[in-house]
């Protein structure tokens, strides 16, 4: 049995909605829940939302998606207000604001600007699993893909703050065990709630992470690194897909490009890397038509460990034209 995580496809949104409706532990009210598929589609197409699905390859295709997680970047004012109030239900507040036209989710340009200055504020917007047992022994098999999902979302960004709501004491304890977002922003709801429905707002700011002993949160989420190469947003889009093992023809379809444009974009990426670092690509023993494959493998292996290269940032003076 193989467990893994990957970005969601648009044709899987119905399955994601079913999961949130049945296993989301009342993250959203009914009105917001009904609007989620449309809103998810809009945000994903605008690249304003990260959404991952958790896969169990040992199950039949119709059942292999066992969970999902999503998150987005929100404005400083919204994040600061959440942190100051200790209010629960941040995901519901974010999505209701979007539905009411009071957008608090950053656009790509706004996220790039924030990433180059103060940093971005991450808010988890959905977490739902078929499995409802989050005691440590039962959940431990999902820990590696859960941590990989967090890395895929947050690694490489300049993170100003991270916030999430845990619903259920077992899930709360599991999140604390991973070292993710250690600071409690709010005590659990009153004792009358059953343990499976208690709400916890958890979060951490960059300043808090710097005062803590070295832990997973500070190493993974607040580990700021300057990019070595200045890829454009268009190049980053292609590289992110390629990093997910998406073939060039599918990249062309997802990016609404021709196969020829995708090929030219790869050439521009290789030329730029060689221009910035002339000796960076391994020397070729022979030019037998496999040189492009070698360059791509070398570059993708590097990017897998240096996600900062794939995160948009400003000021624009440091970037090449798109």
Q: What is the pLDDT of residues 218-275, one digit of tens each?
A: 566 788 888 999 899 999 999 999 998 899 999 999 899 999 999 999 999 999 999 9
Distance CA 255, CA 226 (A): 27
Q: What is the pLDDT of residues 10-53, one digit of tens each?
A: 999 999 999 999 998 889 999 999 999 999 999 999 999 999 99
Find out whether 54 and 5 touch, Cβ atoms under 8 Å. yes
> For the chain, which residues make up each domain, given as ranges?
3-221, 233-318
Distance CA 61, CA 55 (A): 10
pTM of the model: 0.88
Confidence of residue 205 (pLDDT cuts 50, 70, 90): confident
CATH architecture label of 3-221: 3-Layer(aba) Sandwich (3.40)
Sheet hosting strand 199-205, strand order edge to edge: 3-7, 50-56, 65-74, 120-129, 159-167, 199-205, 183-184
Q: For residue 172, count other CB atoms closer than 10 A to its CB.
A: 20
Structure tokens at 271: 């030329």
Alpha-carbon torsion angle 236, 239, 241, 242, nearest 10: 180
Torsion sign across C-alpha atoms 22, 51, 41, 110: positive
């Amino acid at each position: 049995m193989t467990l893994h995580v990957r970005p969601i496809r648009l044709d899987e949104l119905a399955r994601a909605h079913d999961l949130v409706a049945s296993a989301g532990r009342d993250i959203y009210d009914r009105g917001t829940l009904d609007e989620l598929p449309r809103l998810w589609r809009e945000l994903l197409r605008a690249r304003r939302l990260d959404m991952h699905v958790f896969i169990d390859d040992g199950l039949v295709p119709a059942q292999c998606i066992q969970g999902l997680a999503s998150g987005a970047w929100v404005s400083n004012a919204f994040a600061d207000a959440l942190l100051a109030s200790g209010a629960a239900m941040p995901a519901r507040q974010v999505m209701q604001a979007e539905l009411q036209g009071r957008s608090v989710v950053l656009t790509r340009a706004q996220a790039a600007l924030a990433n180059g200055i103060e940093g971005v504020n991450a808010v988890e917007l959905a977490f739902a699993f078929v499995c409802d047992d989050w005691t440590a022994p039962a959940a431990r098999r999902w820990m590696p893909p859960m941590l990989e999902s967090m890395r895929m979302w947050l690694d490489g960004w300049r993170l100003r703050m991270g916030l999430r709501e845990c619903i259920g004491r077992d899930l709360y304890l599991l999140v604390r065990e991973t070292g993710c977002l250690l600071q409690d922003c709010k005590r659990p709801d009153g004792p009358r709630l059953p343990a499976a429905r208690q709400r916890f707002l958890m979060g951490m700011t960059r300043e808090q992470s710097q005062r803590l002993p070295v832990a997973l949160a500070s190493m993974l989420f607040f580990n700021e690194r300057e990019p070595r190469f200045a890829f454009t947003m268009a190049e980053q889009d292609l590289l992110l897909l390629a990093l997910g093992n998406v073939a060039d023809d599918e990249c062309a379809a997802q990016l609404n490009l021709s196969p020829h444009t995708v090929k030219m974009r790869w050439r521009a990426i290789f030329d730029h890397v060689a221009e910035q670092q002339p000796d960076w690509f391994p020397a070729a023993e022979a030019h037998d038509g496999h040189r492009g494959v070698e360059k791509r493998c070398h570059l993708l292996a590097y990017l897998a460990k240096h996600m900062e290269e794939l995160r948009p940032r400003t000021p624009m003076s440091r970037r090449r034209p798109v």
